[in-house]
Amino acid sequence: MKNNLKLVVMENCLEFGKKVDFHLQKKYQKSMILPISNSRFSNGEGKITIDGSIRDQDLYILSDVGNYDISYSMQGREHFMSPDEHFQDIKRVISAASGYASKITVVMPLLYQSRQHKRKGRESLDCAIALQELERLGVDHIVTFDCHDPNVSNAVPLLPFESFYPTNAILSTLLEKENENLENLFVVSPDFGAMERAKYYAEMLGCNVGAFYKRRDLTKVVNGKNPILEHTYLGDSVEGKDVLVVDDMIASGSSMIEVGEELKKRGARNVYLVASFALLTDGIEPFVEAYQRGVFDKLYSTNLSYVPETIKKEDWYEDVDCSKQLSEIIETLHEKRPMTPLFDVQEEILKKTLGGRK
């Protein structure tokens, strides 16, 4: 049977895309990457051309909309791309492929505008609108990771929407790296919004879970949010335990650092911060300072979205490679096999926990 799988890797995730392609080559014996040309006029308007045949191809478009290190010249000045511009380039590829490819799947590990998933008052509903736009453009499938709120898929009820978790890759790396340090595991959610995710990790590890409640000042808005007044812990004692603080993404990181401080005050032995996406929008200085003070022991995050090399070299940062997982997802979708084995990873994780390593 002739293989018709093609992978379009956007400029914003070339390194990760090549790793995914490396794993796919083990199955299909050749590169799946389809070359494209991305050109721009001097005023910033863009154009994408697909440099190869896509007729009757099963096309997967891989894009990291969170990459803030891609720039182009506009009006003679260097301009760094925003998530809005990365999303626009995805639509350009779709429009170039429409009518030719047999199937189009958009793979956004970091879902575009995922934090703007519900409306409060007169504000925009960006994530839902973006998903509906992809549907109208003829996209057949959407794949993402650790979606901020998977219920946003209700905006496109007839469009297949898959949100995978990098739990297996993260926990496997953590259990391997911290093999000698982990004794009495405990999972904590930094707020109620991340509780379902924390419960998932706790179930994978077979341990208990706790949570912090963020009391906010509702009379003020700073950087689009009500500032946090205090963190109140709800749960069993963490004294002498190795605690995993789990969230989908770390933006500025101030909340995670404050949670780490509270856990250390309560006698936690080791504190490991875990996030699918480490955005670190305020830079690394707060984490460097917190690490030096012993607030946390390690930050585990993935290569699903851009992280600068300067951060990857820090002693407190551990980069988790998820390229093999994504290659397995693409292969499974392409060959129309059941997806269940990709979601059910608990047995594999439990074999690596303390009980399985005795």
Mean pLDDT taken over the chain: 89
In sequence order, what are the beta bridge partners of 9? Answer: 62
Q: Is 265 exposed, middle or buried (0-12, 13-18, 19+ CB in 10 A)?
A: exposed
Backbone torsions φ then ψ of 265, nearest 5 degrees: -60, -30
| 291 CA to centre of own chain | 23
Segments forming the whole domain that contains residue 35: 5-165+323-342
Q: Report the SS3 class of residue 125.
A: coil
In sequence order, what are the beta bridge partners of 231? Answer: 214
Averaged pLDDT, 112-124: 85
Both 114 and 172 in one domain: the answer is no
Distance separating alpha carbons of residues 104 and 5, to the nearest angstrom? 10
| Residue with more model confidence, 2 or 147 | 147
Reported as a single tens digit per residue, the pLDDT across 142-199 is 999 999 888 899 999 999 999 998 988 999 899 888 877 777 899 999 988 888 889 9
Residue 288 has pLDDT above 70, yes or no: yes
Q: Which residue has the tokens 């496109």?
A: 156
pLDDT band at 242 (very low <50, low <70, confident <90, very high): very high
Distance separating alpha carbons of residues 243 and 198, to the nearest angstrom? 11
In sequence order, what are the beta bridge partners of 47? Answer: 39
Domain assignment present for 224: yes
Alpha-carbon distances of 203 from 2, 193, 349, rounded to whole Å: 41, 17, 10
Reported as a single tens digit per residue, the pLDDT across 221-236 is 766 666 666 778 888 9
Both 160 and 239 in one domain: the answer is no
Both 80 and 185 in one domain: the answer is no
Distance separating alpha carbons of residues 91 and 7, to the nearest angstrom? 15
Q: Which pLDDT score is estimated for 1?
A: 45
Both 149 and 298 in one domain: the answer is no
Reported as a single tens digit per residue, the pLDDT across 68-91 is 999 999 998 999 999 999 999 999
Number of structural domains found in the chain: 2
